Amino acid sequence: MESLNPPNQDTLLPYTILDLSEGGHNLCGRLLGDMGAKVIRIEPPGGSQTRLRGPFTPDSNGNDKSLYWAAYNSNKKGISLSLDTEAGRQILLSLVEQSDAILESFQPGYMDSLNIGFGTLIKLNPKLVHTSITPFGSTGPYAGFVSTDLVTSSMGGMPFVSGDPDRPPVRISFPQAELVAGSQAFAATVSALRHSRNSKNGQHVDVTEQISVIWTLMNATPFPKLHGTDVKRAGAFRKKGSIDARHVFKCADGHVSMMSQAKTLNGFIVWMLEETEVDEEILSFDIDNWDIKIDSDPDGKDATEFTRLEAAIENFLSKKTKTEIFERALSAGLLVAPCNTVEDIRQSPQLEARSFWIDVYHPEFGRDITHLGSYLKMSETPLKVYFPSPAVGSDNEEIFKSLGISKSKIDTLKKQGVV
């Protein structure tokens, strides 16, 4: 059967995607939509659970609406469909026949229990890519376990490497596991779609939050094998030889991050000398050979020197703003950067120059909502926001009409709670 989204020269991903995912997994469909795929967001007639996630903002009628939903469901068409009904499942099967991929984050076995699992769908559409995004995957002793971001992040090791060494592990404050899994599901789905296009064979893509988080640990994973011990949490410090060198410093309006190497340390001493008196003992330190001294000092004999220098720099920076410090670092070629807040990012001249922020009109809100722009720039096929996140069932008539379902039939299905 002909695809709902026939290829054209302006579409980077000429595919039709059915998105039944929830939460941060919605990012997968959002990224596919950004690349031009026709993503159809399918949710129950009463609305997706993701719509209950904050932050919220009033719509044109004064009712709270989810900005979380708006952020991760832009560039998607929206239909309502009850999979608890036979009629709803039949409509889904009709959509599958005309689609290239389906995304879902149900518990393993749930779709099979409704006779709409991978085994059924692949027979209906042999080229279909079926991407499942779950906490622990569809196999193994934890398959089917219900989880939260805290659980999957912890079981993926992320909190263990975060925080101070003398305190318990710390989770990153904004939930990451779902979003990391969503972005990895995007890459996996695109790869599987390419394989399907070339081989005419679809497949099941099984993405787990736990493993997605493990992949963010990078060089922490080989430590037990290579060093016989886990990587140590360092917090605001970085191990340099035998010394724990601070790399986050408090300043007048927040914090800055810096590399404690010879050029940077010398650069700050020069700045300090321009504006204040510097202790003679600190000036006597052999900063030019600092890196070599630290690396060849297994007993930490130079730790006292470094502690005194670090304290002097921290005291000096405490009276400077992030902008002042960053501008000085740029002019002097120092490895220093501000620890930006979200508001700092919003005001970034670099992002403004790249037209990163986009105002998109949302009919539900009755006004423009500022969105993150494209995460990359492509000279021939630029990514863009084609349309805002859908209201519940906002595209029912358009999508169902493409299946040959009449307006009167849609009205009947609505009364029956199917759509």
pLDDT at 235 exceeding the cut of 70: yes
pLDDT band at 249 (very low <50, low <70, confident <90, very high): very high
In this prediction, residue 302 has a pLDDT band, given cuts at 50, 70 and 90, of: low
Average pLDDT score over residue span 201-217: 97
What are the pLDDT digits (tens) for 29-62?
999 999 999 999 999 999 999 999 999 998 878 8
- Residues 367-381 have pLDDT tens digits of 999 998 888 888 888
Q: What DSSP element (H or E) covers 102?
A: strand 101-104
Q: Are 214 and 184 in contact (CB under 8 A)?
A: no
Q: What CATH topology corresponds to 16-217+351-415?
A: Rossmann fold (3.40.50)
Has residue 5 got a pLDDT over 60? no
Using the predicted structure, report yes or no on whether residue 411 has a pLDDT greater than 70.
yes
Least confident segment among 103-107, 301-305, 346-350 = 301-305
Q: How confident is the model at residue 135 (pLDDT cuts 50, 70, 90)?
A: very high
Q: Give 149: exposed, middle or buried? Use CB within 10 Å, 0-12, 13-18, 19+.
A: buried
Q: What is the pLDDT of the chain when averaged over all its residues?
A: 91
Residue 264 DSSP one-character state: H
Q: Residue ranges of the domains in the chain?
A: 16-217+351-415, 236-340
**Claim: this prediction has a pTM higher than 0.85:** yes
φ and ψ at residue 81, rounded to 5 degrees: -160, 125
Q: What does 295-327 look like in DSSP terms, one character per residue?
A: HT-TT-TTHHHHHHHHHHHHHHHTTS-HHHHHH
In which band, very low, low, confident or very high, does the pLDDT at 6 lie, cut at 50, 70 and 90?
Answer: very low
User: What is the band of 295 on the pLDDT scale with cuts at 50, 70, 90?
Assistant: low
Q: What is the average pLDDT across 201-206?
A: 98
Report d(CA 403, CA 417) in Å as an integer: 19
**Position with higher pLDDT, 281 vs 250:** 250
Q: Which CATH number fits domain 236-340: 2.60.120, 3.30.1540, 2.20.130, 1.10.287?
A: 3.30.1540
Lowest-pLDDT choice from 155-159, 180-184, 216-220, 322-326 = 216-220
CB 95 within 8 A of CB 80: no
- Return d(Cα 233, Cα 87) in angstroms, integer: 54
pLDDT recorded at residue 4: 45
Q: What is the pLDDT of residue 218?
A: 81
Tell me, rounded to whole angstroms, the distance of Cα 228 from its chain centroid. 32
Spatial contact of 128 and 99, defined as CB atoms under 8 Å apart: yes
State whether residue 256 is helix, strand or coil.
strand
Comparing CA positions, the residue from 112, 141, 142 lying closest to residue 209 is 142
pLDDT in tens, 211-230: 999 999 988 888 888 888 88
pLDDT for position 90: 98
Distance (Å) of CA 306 to CA 197, 275, 292, 295, 334: 59, 21, 13, 13, 18
Q: What is the pLDDT of residues 58-97, one digit of tens each?
A: 887 888 999 999 999 999 999 999 999 999 999 999 999 9
**Residue 358: is it exposed, middle or buried by C-beta count within 10 angstroms (0-12/13-18/19+)?**
middle
